[in-house]
Amino acid sequence: MNAGSEAVRRNSVPPTAADAQALEATWRDPPGAMGWLSAVNHKAIGKRFILTAFGFFVAGGFLALLMRLQLARPENKLIGPDLYNQLFTMHGTTMMFLFAVPVMQAVSVYLVPLMIGSRSVAFPRMNAFAYWIYLFGGLMLYVAFVLNIGPDAGWFSYVPLAGPEYSPGKRVDFWAQLVTFTELSGLLEAVILIVTVFKLRAPGMTLNRIPLFVWGMLVTAFMVIFAMPSVMLASTALIMDRLVGTHFYNPGEGGDAVLWQHLFWFFGHPEVYFIFIPGLGFMSSIIPTFSRRPIYGYTAMVLALIATGFLAFGLWVHHMFATNLPEMGKSFFTAASMLIAIPSAVQIFCWIATLWTGKLVFKTPLLFVLAFFVILVLGGLTGVMLASVPLDLQVHDTYFVVAHLHYVLIGGAVFPLFGAIYYWYPKITGRLMSERLGRWNFWLFFIGFNGAFFPMHLLGLQGMPRRVYTYPGDMGWSTMNAIASVGALMIGVSVLIFIVNVVRSRRSGELAGSDPWGGGTLEWSTASPPSACNFEAIPVVHGAYPVWEPRREPTHVAGLAVNSREVLTTTVLDAEPDTRMPFPTPTIWPLVSALATTGLFVGSVFTPWAVVWVALPVAAAMTAWFWPKRQDTNASVALERAP
Amino acid sequence: MATSASTLRWLAACGSVVLAAAVRAEPLQSVLAPAGPQAAHLKDLWDVMLLVCTGVFVAVLVAVGIALWRAPRADSSQRASLPQELGPQRGARRSVLSAVVASTLLLLFLIVASVFTDRALARLSLHDALHIEVTANQWWWEARYDDAQASRMFNTANELHIPTGRPVVLTLRSNDVIHSFWVPALHGKKDLIPGRTSTLRLQADQAGTYRGQCAEFCGYQHTTMALLVMAEPPAQYEAWADHQRATAALSQEPQAARGRHIFMTTTCVMCHSIQGTDASARRGPDLTHVAQRQTLAAGALPNTPENLERWIRNPQHIKPGANMPPSDLPTDDLKALVAYLGSLQ
């Protein structure tokens, strides 16, 4: 027996304790500080990703509280225009680029392999690289903000205000470069998710058995791939206008200021759906479990998600109704913007049907999900109003829109996300979160949210524009603003309670067991927290809710190596076993590559030559990353079999 | 059918009343207090939307409420039903389908309502319209009143006077970044985009003063970029316009005469123009009849001599970031300058 045939030793049916131990040793990230920096396990990266995104959520929320403090009274002198403009730019940029989109990808990096019965995400090293890039981009933005060079031209950075003439200095350059960082990370994650969902599903998980959350992330990932290049193009052109004197957006030299708006919103509107569709996925995961039945209308739900993904690309002009684009064209976008309500309505009605015909378990995750029906539905209806060209001309760029977008994004994504954290926290940590604190968290958030944002509808109708750092006392806006500020404070308190709950339950929460809620999808069939390899034996799937289905043969896959990182790939449509693939081992090089790339991006803010010179360390780090190791090659060769 | 239509109208009226009460009618800058046909069309559309959307919202909440109320309670250990045990679920299928069809029809109705409002807006007759060119600057509004005779054109800033009952065509341009012209009592907003020209057609039917402000974030002092529109009976408007066409008053009062000399010999003249004098720079607002205006610096302050003095002394205290530099004139000179500007009726 040589070393190779030792690696060929395969796990039997069912896996023995020795196999489980060997798998754990194979898939574990190495110990120590160096091991921590080299980690590639999707659960380690996923947890860091989620925590980082929540860190940015808290930071962005803190900036919002400062704004509400300033606006609590008319003609307040607390914060001047310079800081206020940075605050709302940082708040929007943080929430859109550093929290809402990444946190959804982060949760799915953790959950998707567990839900589809896989040992890993595809391209685990790329996953680590995407996390580091995201982290460094966010840190760059906040370091700039602390040094008083935070961006101040809005999260949308309209030119020419964000151009070289009206925003001199480095502020907007950091914004444009942040976009480069987060888009790089987002695009990589999208590729990872698509390949994971298409190729790494457990055998038997045909397309019509994929959990709806996974469907949602798949649709989102495709949307990311089509939308994000648009904003990368836009921000690259902006940074070239600013740094090397091109004139993409300069009307004086034949450029066009409205070009920016088209490119930005061609990304910006689908971006809302990158945030909202995963939220729908959380809804579709939580509702069946707490209704003790499968989702009503699975096929309709999937088609609705896909329809949303397509329609979302036909709406961008509704952010530009006040420009002088042709009226006829604008009417088209009114119709498209209203019609996207239909797929959302289909899903809402299917959830109501599920609840209606189910047996309900009232736990905190369900509460957060029920809030969706109040908040998102209201936000969706104000969205229908905003879709109308003439009505939009009145409420566009007022507090009415601020109210609308927070109802949609917080109601459609953040409430389901909080529900999702309560729901999957026991899977991630092995312990349940406190129900009592959960209820405090929920009610304070729900009441505070409505207190903060409902009055903003009225403020907008009364004529209060967005992005003003103060307002005169005789406009009749003072009372509503004061109420909104109190509501914002309540949200702050509820988030504090949430943090306390997360931290306390980590140590002293009730032990969860593998399936505390009686869930039906695959992640509930493995230990909490899952072992390094996720599943000691890859399950074979016989239905959309495998855990609820009666046991059927074969129950799981046999024949995968336990001493070597081997993953089963399956076919795209029917998830039939396809190949056994060796997977990469932990390594420090994704981190080093990310550091070098960060040097390139940040350096290019100061000199275009950074692109040339820092490309050398980037190339070197990438080369080291992909350099084949003899040990790995030998293991792969030993596992190969002639057909 | 007729009853249901009248009930609908009644409900819409009630909804608006409740909302208007909540908003506590502050007519100055409110979408809900239209003063002309364009804003009135938009208000009608708002009423329709509010009614339909409130109905849908209530219906969804009632459905969720009933679902929660009637579904039996369970706990997590209870076995979940499987598709084969649930059967065909015809009732649910019928309800979901009819709800989707109803939503689709309501949305189509709203699309039609929106398009009809758009058409109503486009129908405003332009017969005998008044033409005004509005140019936005960081952070003030410049207005040029057009006329077939060049000698009858005149400039003003931050305050527009318009005749009631007569259509007004605004030609909108920007000198620097994107701004948005918005006077909610008269019409929705329209962006002023550098390198492009757009138009806005509106009309005031009731006399009054309507406030508006820039609605597109335009930098440091986006907050302080208000404008007032005074709608006046035609005769009063013509009198005002004739007065605007006249060159600046030449006060013989010694303090004002001294102020005039100071204006012409210090930095003031490098940015401002006063018709009938040598001051003809276009960087800042035209001051030919500045004393007639209600506010200073695009709504930053009421126009009083004390405020004018404070403003000239240090604009950065009042409107940080404004493009007007502080002044180091001795107090006597400053008072004379204020007296001169106060004489520019």
- The pLDDT of residue B344 is 94
Which tokens sit at A14?
Answer: 């069912």
The interface residues of chain A toward chain B in range 497-536, judged by CB-CB distance below 8 A, are: 516-518, 520
Q: What is the mean pLDDT of residues A57-83?
A: 96
CB pairs under 8 A between A and B: 284
Q: Which residues of B touch A358 (CB under 8 A)?
A: 71, 81
Partner-chain residue, chosen from B29, B92, B195, that has the shortest CB–CB distance to A256: B195
d(CA A158, nearest CA chain B) in Å: 8
Residues of chain B with pLDDT under 50: 1-3, 17, 20-26
Rounded to an integer, what distance in angstroms lies between the CA atom of residue A459 and that of residue A476?
Answer: 9
Mutual angle of helices A364-387 and B37-70, in 10-degree steps = 160
Q: Do B223 and A469 count as a contact with CB atoms less than 8 A apart?
A: yes
Q: Do B194 and A465 count as a contact with CB atoms less than 8 A apart?
A: no
Question: Which of B61, B81, B84 has the highest number of chain A CBs within 10 A, making it the mutation to test binding with A?
Answer: B81
Question: Which of A324, A328, A547 has the highest number of chain B CBs within 10 A, making it the mutation to test binding with B?
Answer: A324
Say how many CA atoms lie within 13 Å of B88 toward its Cβ: 3
d(CA A235, nearest CA chain B) in Å: 18
Rounded to an integer, what distance in angstroms lies between the CA atom of residue B79 and that of residue A531?
Answer: 26
ipTM of the prediction: 0.92
Partner-chain residue, chosen from B45, B107, B221, that has the shortest CB–CB distance to A341: B107
Residues A368-417: pLDDT tens digits? 999 999 999 999 999 999 999 999 999 999 999 999 999 999 999 999 99
Q: Are B285 and B272 in contact (CB under 8 A)?
A: yes
H or E element in which residue B18 lies: helix B2-23
- The pLDDT of residue A328 is 84
- The pLDDT of residue A437 is 97
Backbone angles phi, psi at A464, to 5 degrees: -85, 115
Q: Are A401 and A267 in contact (CB under 8 A)?
A: no
A359, A365, A435 from B68: Cα distances, Å: 9, 15, 20
Estimate to the nearest angstrom the gap between the alpha carbon of A394 and the chain centroid.
32
Residues A111-128: pLDDT tens digits? 999 999 999 999 999 999
Q: Do B60 and A350 count as a contact with CB atoms less than 8 A apart?
A: no
Question: Which of B30, B95, B124, B177 has the highest number of chain A CBs within 10 A, making it the mutation to test binding with A?
Answer: B177
Q: Which residue has the tokens 């102020």?
A: B259
Q: Which residue has the tokens 């109708």?
A: A461
- The pLDDT of residue B302 is 94
- The pLDDT of residue B5 is 52
Q: Which residues of A touch B111 (CB under 8 A)?
A: 334-335, 338, 388
Partner-chain residue, chosen from B53, B82, B187, that has the shortest CB–CB distance to A548: B82
Neighbours of A448 (CB within 10 A): 20
Q: What is the mean pLDDT of residues A270-299?
A: 96
- The pLDDT of residue B6 is 56
d(CA A327, nearest CA chain B) in Å: 9
Peptide bond into B37 cis (omega under 30): no
Least-confidence region, from A237-241, A448-452, A625-629, B170-174: A625-629
Q: Which residue has the tokens 């953790």?
A: A110
Would you call A389 an interface residue with chain B, using a CB distance cutoff of 8 Å? yes
Residues A324-340: pLDDT tens digits? 998 888 999 999 999 99
- The pLDDT of residue A15 is 77
Residues A12-42: pLDDT tens digits? 457 788 899 999 999 999 999 999 999 999 9
Q: Do A518 and B78 count as a contact with CB atoms less than 8 A apart?
A: yes
d(CA B171, nearest CA chain A) in Å: 11
The DSSP result for B126-147, as a single string, is -TT-EEEEEEEETTEEEEEE--
Q: Return the DSSP state at A99.
A: I
- The pLDDT of residue B81 is 87
Q: Which residues of B touch A339 (CB under 8 A)?
A: 107
Which tokens sit at A19?
Answer: 């196999």
Partner-chain residue, chosen from B29, B64, B138, that has the shortest CB–CB distance to A352: B64
Residues A196-234: pLDDT tens digits? 999 999 999 999 999 999 999 999 999 999 999 999 999
Would you call A299 an interface residue with chain B, using a CB distance cutoff of 8 Å? no
Would you call A545 an interface residue with chain B, using a CB distance cutoff of 8 Å? yes
**Buried/exposed code over A329-341 (b: 16+ C-beta within 10 A; e: otherwise):** ebbebbebbbbbb
Residue A8 clears pLDDT 70, i.e. is over it: no
Partner-chain residue, chosen from B89, B114, B222, that has the shortest CB–CB distance to A467: B222
Q: Which residue of A has its CA nearest to B45?
A: A391
d(CA B72, nearest CA chain A) in Å: 5
Q: Do A377 and B57 count as a contact with CB atoms less than 8 A apart?
A: yes
